Amino acid sequence: MTQLVEPKLESIRHDWSDQEIEALFSQPFADLMFAAQNVHRQHFDPNEVQVSTLLSIKTGKCSEDCAYCPQSVRYDTAVEDESLLELDAVITAARQAKLNGASRFCMGAAWRRPKDKDLDKVIDMVIAVKDEGLESCLTLGMLTEQQTQRLKEAGLDYYNHNLDSSPEYYQEIISTRTYDDRLETLAHVRNAGINVCCGGILGMGESRNDRVGLMRELANQAPHPESVPINMLVRVEGTPLEAADDFDPIEFVRCIAVARILMPKSHVRLSAGREEMTDEMQALCFLAGANSIFYGEKLLTTPNPGPNHDMALFDNLGIKSV
């Protein structure tokens, strides 16, 4: 009989070993779900889900070679390149997001790192989003320390910079940016006092050991990322991962549960890939401790369930959006 691994609910740890995390993954599914739900209820209302909206403010022509990304200039995909949006367009989108029930407005730009002249325009967007009564979040690629300080002074609430996978598997996915590059930007964000949004992508051909490694890197950050987006690969024609195998939905739910146990106070977000998830799979994810979603019909360039579908699912599950 497999021994149930019971996390210490009263402690927040940053020293998880691979062996401990593997032991969580290896629990019988019911035991893992029970443990994750117990942790979740210690820190959150289990019937509330935070809702964010993501807008692509600059699309395509990215110089990076991330194997999953249709915005890379290196791949022939159907994504149409778009220059940086005008401020009025961003304000209109933010107002609509708020009307749809979002509390946080996230803006993404396909850059390796922003130029200072572009950052001036993005800062105006951050200020405008805040004026609409929404939390603000950005994902712009790598940042310098000075750029991060400027964003803090503008009032930015969250900065997203994902680790994507384990340090060991990362080189199989990206060659134009190192793992240490990502950690450096995260350090700048944390040192500036901006909330960290950091997660990864599942289903890129990685092993269970790599998923353990990703969770270790996330959980041993001190403090934990305030937001942890867990993405399921969206296979886009023209990218190197277009023919990746289907990802096991039960393994995805296990990852959500493990993330909840390792990072008890973080918002664990269902991000890319929800379009391919059944309502039943999403319900299991919420039961496992997911308590945040991206809301709207598109995530940067990939499909996402429409607002009406999400609200119908929430109503069916008795979930309140916050």
Largest CA distance in the chain: 61
As a whole number of angstroms, the distance between CA 177 and CA 72 comes to 13
As a whole number of angstroms, the distance between CA 271 and CA 11 comes to 27
Return all residues near 254 (Cβ < 8 A) that are at least 6 apart.
25, 29, 32, 288
Alpha carbons within 13 angstroms on the beta-carbon side of residue 281 total 17
> Is residue 54 within 8 Å of residue 106, measured between CB atoms?
yes
As a whole number of angstroms, the distance between CA 174 and CA 17 comes to 25
Indicate the SS3 state at residue 38: helix
Indicate the SS3 state at residue 55: strand
> Is residue 52 within 8 Å of residue 105, measured between CB atoms?
yes
List residues with catalytic annotation. 62, 66, 69, 106, 137, 197, 269
Q: Which two tokens stand for residue 107?
A: 């803006």
